[in-house]
Amino acid sequence: MKTIIFLLQKEFRQIRRNKTLLPIIFVLPIIQLLILVHATTFEIKNINLSIVDMDKSYTSQQLINKLDGSSFFKISNNALTFDEAKEQLAKNNADMIVYIPHNFGTDLIKENNSSVQFIPNAINSNVASLAYAYGANVIMDFNKDIVAELLASISPKPIKTIETKARFWYNPELNYKWYMFPGIMVILISMIGIFISGLNLVREKEIGTSEQLNVTPMKKHHFIIGKLLPFLLIGLFELGFAVLLGKLFYGVPLVGSVWVLVLFTFVFLLVVLGIGLFISTMSDTQQQMMFIAFFVIIVFILLSGIFTPLESMPTWVQKFNYINPITYFMKVIRMVMLKGSGFMDLIPEFISLSIYAVIILSLATWRYKKTS
């Protein structure tokens, strides 16, 4: 026990003196949580429209006002001709052309049928598909209003309609920051866990202190425990800091149990710290360790489901995620914070992370070469 205590004292002194680790521990979390939460969003707003109104009628103006009143659209140009609108689209001054043909209002009233053409800029397929979907919803609302006006002009009696109200569980306001913030927290804890544990060990190789430790009677497991505990405490501190920051700046709730969140974070930290230690045992320099760790963590993050739903990925990618610890923790932290899930709801994830921790820490201990 005394050996571990002395190792802990040494580790905290090294962390305090290390000018590379301190910014990673204290500056990186603030930047990630305050900036990336706003940047990593799939919500598309202020879509620039180029309107080509060939009808110039009261009905076409109603439709234009409907589009302009939407929070997703902004009319950037009223083109006189279709060619002028295409030029705006080519120059990236518009994201979508709305073409209203001649006799739009007349056909709608007399023939009960008319058409509007949407031509989105599909360089960015995500923006194009969302712009088209938003526009189609506006057209549907506009169509309902027209039908209601026609029926009201025919019948003097009030028309009975069915009103639908949507209620969303766990995120009633559909605040995208509530969804992204837990994911950014997972990335934060993962990066800090892998990088600081790996860099710390490799740095000792570079400055020669690892050789001094190797000739002591200290056991392998003493060394690994001494390396893990400081960063476990730092990781748990980062968790508490992130939860507090999310509550103060974004109003992200913590519906579930704090202790369940701490328990899963503890196990997950064992996994990522083990990965960092394992990579460091195969690296001779800090640069080499950072290159390997960067490759590993980028793959894990992109396949974790933070940007793309797991269900949308190919089958073989979904199977690969069985060895991706970030996938498990991403699911856990969202379910605990937003849904209020308890430990019994997350037993499969707990078992998977626990097995992962045992395997990776065993590999790191086995790979660490100590000469007595």
Instruction: Return the residue matching tokens 């991706």.
Output: 324
CATH of the domain at 55: 3.40.1710.10
Q: How far apart are CA 57 and CA 111, in angstroms?
A: 16
Give the model confidence (pLDDT) of 340-355 as tens digits.
Answer: 999 999 999 999 999 9
Same domain, 8 and 34: yes
Q: Is the dihedral of CA 367, 368, 371, 372 positive or negative?
A: negative
| DSSP calls for 283-310 | -SSHHHHHHHHHHHHHHHHHTTTSSS-G
pLDDT of 105-152, one tens digit each? 888 777 778 888 899 988 878 788 888 888 888 888 888 877 776 666
Shared domain for 117 and 232, answered yes or no, is no
Same domain flag for 27 and 79: no
Residues 225 and 333 reside in one and the same domain: yes
**How many distinct structural domains can be found in the chain?**
2
Asked if residue 166 is part of any domain, the answer here is no
**pLDDT single digits (tens) 8-56:** 676 677 667 767 667 777 777 778 788 877 776 666 778 889 999 888 8
- Whole-model pTM? 0.78
Q: 86 is in which domain, residue-wise? A: 47-154
Pairing of strands 73-79, 96-100: unpaired
Q: How far apart are CA 190 and CA 184, in angstroms?
A: 10
| Token output for 148 | 């209601």
Looking at the fold, whether 136 and 189 belong to one and the same domain comes out as no
Whether residues 138 and 208 share a domain: the answer is no
Note whether 266 and 136 are same-domain residues.
no
Q: Is 161 domain-assigned?
A: no
Domain assignment present for 66: yes
The sheet carrying 96-100 orders its strands as 73-79, 47-53, 96-100, 117-120
Write out the H or E segment, with its range, that includes residue 49: strand 47-53
Question: What burial letters (b/e) apply to 298-320, b meaning 16+ CB within 10 Å?
Answer: eebbebbbbeeeeeeeeeeeeee
Residue with tokens 């620039």: 48
Domain boundary among 154, 188, 207: 154
Looking at the structure, tell me whether residues 341 and 307 fall in a common domain. yes
